[in-house]
């Protein structure tokens, strides 16, 4: 095996470890540690999906409706709210399980940046019978900062056109 292949395998493993840790942090609701995995200027976007004929499909327009479009500041506000006791829809808490698959990674446009794509399945359960699933794909830009990977940009594309869960207190 040549050195280029070994380097690509090492990068793929590192990105998978990054995603595995991120899923564990989200499942444990350790949002402070999760936010530390991001850059200060992170963009976290989940646009709405539309059922369109193939001929009418177009590239994602960043001006379209979205389920959320977050910065690090707004993510901090949203996650901090869960600690205040005023988030009635999360008391008692929801249980989550994030499964991340089909990870691909390649070099980005600038040194120390990487484009990564992955699929996800998120299971949510609350109270006795309230459960939901969210399935989709993520397109990420990861940045190496002080020898650690950080999330700089994430686009979350869910497969559902309509979310049936009662709230959107979940991150993919």
Per-residue pLDDT of the chain (172 residues; tens, 9 = 90+): 899 888 899 999 999 999 999 999 999 999 999 999 999 999 999 988 776 667 666 666 666 678 889 999 999 998 888 777 776 666 777 888 999 999 999 999 999 999 999 999 999 898 878 888 899 999 999 999 999 999 999 999 999 877 776 666 678 7
As a whole number of angstroms, the distance between CA 23 and CA 21 comes to 5
Q: Provide the pLDDT for residue 15.
A: 98
As a whole number of angstroms, the distance between CA 19 and CA 4 comes to 23
Distance of CA 146 to the CA centre of its chain: 22
Cite the DSSP H helix spans in the chain. 3-27, 31-35, 72-81
The encoded tokens of residue 13 equal 């493993």
As a whole number of angstroms, the distance between CA 104 and CA 119 comes to 10
Peptide bond into 113 cis (omega under 30): no
């Amino acid at each position: 095996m040549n050195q280029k292949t070994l380097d690509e395998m090492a990068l793929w493993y590192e990105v998978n470890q990054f995603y595995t840790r991120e899923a564990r942090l989200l499942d444990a609701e350790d949002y402070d540690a999760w936010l530390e995995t991001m850059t200060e200027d992170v963009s976290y976007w989940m646009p709405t999906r539309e059922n369109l004929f193939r001929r009418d499909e177009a590239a994602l327009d960043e001006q379209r409706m979205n389920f959320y479009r977050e910065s690090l500041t707004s993510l901090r506000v949203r996650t901090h709210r869960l600690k205040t006791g005023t988030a009635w829809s999360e008391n008692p808490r929801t249980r989550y399980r994030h499964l991340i698959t089909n990870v691909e990674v390649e070099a980005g446009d600038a040194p120390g940046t990487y484009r990564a794509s992955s699929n996800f399945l998120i299971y949510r359960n609350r109270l006795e019978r309230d459960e939901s699933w969210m399935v989709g794909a993520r397109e990420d830009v990861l940045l190496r900062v002080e020898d650690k990977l950080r999330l700089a940009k994430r686009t979350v594309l869910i497969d559902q056109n309509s979310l049936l869960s009662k709230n959107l207190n979940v991150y993919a």
